[in-house]
Structure 1
C-alpha cells in the first residue's frame, strides 16, 4: 500500500515492509510515494551531509526532527532544528541540510505534491555509494523538481562541519 497512487485511499507502510536506501553516512526509509505526497525517514550519522543547496519549483518540503539535531539552510540563514522541531519550506526557497555539528539526526521528510520521488532517492543512494554518476542527478532536475544552486553561506557552514 505504500506506493499507492490512488488519492482517496489511506496509505499504510509497515516498518518491516519499508524499503531502505543507505550510504556510508545515512539510511533512508521510504514510507509513501503518492501523487499527493512523498514521505521518508532519514537517519544521519555525525557529520553526515543530507542535501546541498537546492530548491523545488512545485513542491513544499516539510521536516520534522524525531531525535538529534539537523542544521538547515533556508534562504541565506542557517539554523539548527532540535528534536520536536518542524520546518516547512515553500517552493522556490533555497534550502540545504546536514546533521548538526557533533550530532546525529533522525528526520521525517514530506514533500507535497509527491511526484514519484522514490526513484530519485534511490538514485541518490547509488551516487553516494559510488554506483552511479552524479551527472544523473543533474539530468533528473526537472523530473523530480530538485534544482541545485550554489550557496556560499552553505559552503562556509559545511567547512565548519568538516
Structure 2
C-alpha cells in the first residue's frame, strides 16, 4: 500500500502598512532629510522604505554592501551620483536602480544638484533604527563607532572604494 503524504505550507500574512505623509517621522542632518515611510520586517517579503532629500553637495552614504537585502533607488527629482561595484554613474529624475546583495555601492547628490530619492530595501530589517542612529551621528549627537558596531544588526557593511573616493575628489 502506498501512503499519501501531504505537505502543508504555512505562510505568515503580509502586514499592511499605511503611513500618512503628515505622520511620517523625519530624521534630519545638516545636508539631508530622511522621511521614514514604512517597514515590515517581521514577515516574509518584508521591506523598509524611506525618502531622502539631499541638499546640493550632500555626501549621502560611503561605499558599503548588504549581505541579505536588495537596495532599490527611485529618483523623484534631481540627480544622484552612485557607485555600483566599480562603476560611478548619475541617476536622474525618473531613474530606477536595484542593487543586489554583496554589491558595493555608495551615493551622494550629483555635483551641482539636489536629489529627492525613494529607497526600498527587501527584505526589511528594522532599518529605521539605523537611520535614526545615522542622523544622530551626522548631527554630532552619537559616536561614529556605533555605526561600525551595528554592521551585522543592520546588514550594512562599509568597504573602501578607491573609485568612489576618486569620484568624490573630482578626479573621476
TM-score (norm 1): 0.94
CA distance, structure 2, for counterparts of residue 94 and residue 129 of structure 1: 26
CA distance, structure 2, for counterparts of residue 49 and residue 110 of structure 1: 19
Instruction: Mark the structure with the bigger radius of gyration.
Output: 2
Equivalent in the alignment of 1:118: 128
Q: CA RMSD in A?
A: 1.2
TM-fit CA distance, 1:158: 0.9
CA distance, structure 2, for counterparts of residue 106 and residue 160 of structure 1: 22
CA distance, structure 1, for counterparts of residue 37 and residue 97 of structure 2: 19
Q: What pairs up with 1:1-162 in 2 under 5 angstroms?
A: 7-35=13-41, 36-160=46-170
Aligned residue for 1:160, secondary structure, equals: coil
Query: Where in structure 1 are there 5+ consecutive unaligned residues?
Result: 1-5
TM-score (norm 2): 0.89
CA distance, structure 2, for counterparts of residue 61 and residue 152 of structure 1: 22
CA distance, structure 1, for counterparts of residue 128 and residue 29 of structure 2: 15
Aligned length: 156
Deviations 1:105-125 (A, max 9, x none): 000000001010000000000
Query: Where in structure 2 are there 5+ consecutive unaligned residues?
Result: 1-11
Moved >3 Å (runs of 4+): none
8 Å Cα contact 2:17/2:39 also seen in 1: no
CA distance, structure 1, for counterparts of residue 67 and residue 13 of structure 2: 22
